[in-house]
Amino acid sequence: MLLLLSLLLHPSSTHLAPDHKLYPVVLVPGIFGSQIDGWIDKDEAPHYFCQKKSGGWVTLWLCLECMVPKVLDCWVDNMLLNFTNGDFKDRDGVQSRVNDFGGTEGIENLDKNGYYPYFRDLIMGITSIPGYKRGMNLRAAPYDYRYAPNSSTGRTYMVRLRKLIEETYEINGDMPVNVICHSMGNLYMMEFLRSVDKKWKKKYIKRYVAVSGVFGGSVKSLRALMSGEIESIPRVLVNALQVRKFQRTFQSIYWLLPRPSLWGKDEPIAFTGEKNYTIHQIKDMFDDVGYPLGKDIIDSVRNISDLAEPGVDVHCLHGTNITTPSGFRWKSGGYFPDYQPIELEGPGDGTVNIRSLVLCKNFKQLKDYKTYSGKEAGDHMGILLNPHVIDYIKELLIGDMNPSLDL
């Protein structure tokens, strides 16, 4: 740690090899972590005051000014996905794109005004290392988090991700790339690594740093599909049932449901007063709440739910000893599903259950495994703001510059 501080404050005081090179970095965000823009050209809208024609790109996520009564209906309508013929597409009359693919602006903050930092502190930490520059050897691969990788939009992203890694390798003197992923970004990266061969991985990937990996799903996603999830939306005026309308169309949230292989058939995670449900009975839940389309969407992610061996060196970091939803209880007498349930407490990082987070310990090429205890250190989102986590990643990168440094 002292050498790290010495290098950052007095770069000439440490004896870096004169021909040292920087291994580039590509960052992959989690769900709700990419800024999304939309071009609106609709014939109909929920209210007369909703914008039907934007005439240019406008912010879809995170749009703080959209999260007020009435206007929220316009925003929800723009965020919806259509599920037809086994694939997902933007709502009719909406074209979407992620902000600043290849740069870092689209993931530094959740919003363009910078009120809600995301990767910002980590990016600032990495660029404090002499030689690291945004858009050159520090890049990001944001994606439309509403989709899973087997959708047409997801497949396009996987192609773009491969090209970005190859391009980053080439423009940095054929240096393999560090990929750093957060939350659902880890699922995307696992699916991506499964799609490329060993030779490609050996050439292009230096290491894979998995932060808060939701490897086995999360019970919390169940609430989003049943009653709406508003904790991920930093605004108190949002009505959960309004956002449930679009969350039920997000393929990614179904992909984040707990894996049946980790949650037993005799382990209910939903209690309604009239009936209890395990994750194995999720299709029954959708029948009972009157949303049968959910069953088809679940089937759309079945073939991408297996956890394969990544085949690269892995450093796994996550929080622990934080109260995390392990199930939900709705009051009897008609409260299910249109009222917010009571959380049942279990271990995890506040969002992802511990049994899901620890799956990275099984990877054959696991090089390091670190946990950060307590909400201040290891909260699912807050971990990216943790100075110890940032220093750990910086030490990895500085160590690569000169392996003889004792960091």
For the chain, the domains span 20-33+98-401
Using CA atoms of 180, 182, 187, 188 in order, give the dihedral in degrees to the nearest 10. -60
Residue 6, pLDDT above cutoff 80: no
Choosing from 73, 90, 144, 349, which is the catalytic residue?
A: 349
* pLDDT tens digits, 328-377: 999 999 999 999 999 999 999 999 999 999 999 999 999 999 999 999 99
- In this structure, what token pair is assigned to residue 374? 């307590």
Choosing from 183, 300, 305, 326, which is the catalytic residue?
A: 183
* pLDDT tens digits, 237-274: 678 999 999 999 999 999 999 999 999 999 999 999 99
Choosing from 37, 300, 380, 400, which is the catalytic residue?
A: 380
Given a contact cutoff of 8 angstroms between Cβ atoms, the answer to whether 72 and 244 are in contact is no
The mean of the pLDDT values for the chain is: 93
The pLDDT value recorded for residue 234 is: 62
Segment 104-116 shows an average pLDDT of 96
Residue 123, pLDDT above cutoff 50: yes
Backbone angles phi, psi at 210, to 5 degrees: -100, 115
Q: How far apart are CA 237 and CA 235, in angstroms?
A: 6
Interhelix angle 240-247/71-79, rounded to 10 degrees, is 20
Told to judge if 349 belongs to the known catalytic residues of this protein, a careful annotator would answer yes
Given a contact cutoff of 8 angstroms between Cβ atoms, the answer to whether 378 and 351 are in contact is no
Classify 20-33+98-401 by CATH class. alpha beta
Told to judge if 313 belongs to the known catalytic residues of this protein, a careful annotator would answer no
Segment 109-116 shows an average pLDDT of 96
How much of the chain is in helix, strand and coil states, percent to nearest 5?
Answer: 35, 20, 45
Question: 34 or 234: which carries more pLDDT confidence?
Answer: 34
The pLDDT value recorded for residue 239 is: 85
Q: How far apart are CA 330 and CA 338, in angstroms?
A: 9
Segment 97-115 shows an average pLDDT of 97
Determine if the peptide bond prior to 337 is cis (ω within 30°). Answer: yes
